[in-house]
Amino acid sequence: MSHTAEWKVRLHLCEDDGSTKARVVLDTGTTALTGRGTAHRHPADTNVPEIGDELAAGRAMHDLAHQLLNAAGRDIQGMGAGPASTRQSAGWPM
């Protein structure tokens, strides 16, 4: 059985007063998840916006990854499988 899907991801960055905020939105066509992350520059640090962007974006994507893994776990349990700790090693690895 073949399956193809395209999910769209948008990353929004905003810097203000030494803080960078990131929001990453995943649109699967049927649902949307939003991950968020921030980075704060110490006042004594050199202002390098790219570093704040990288940190905030990475944290937002990390948040989104956790949400996806949690959703997959709920979906697996919804299919009748027990929690990962009680299931055999076959099936969908988490």
**Does the domain at residues 8-79 carry the CATH identifier 3.40.1400.10?**
no
- What gap in Å lies between CA 43 and CA 93, rounded to an integer? 44
Residue 6 clears pLDDT 60, i.e. is over it? yes
| pTM flag (> 0.85) | no
Residue, of 84 and 77, whose pLDDT is higher: 77
What's the full length of the chain, in residues? Answer: 94
Q: Domain coordinates of the chain in residue numbers?
A: 8-79
Strands annotated E in 1-94: 8-16, 19-27, 32-40
What's the confidence (pLDDT) of residue 17? 86
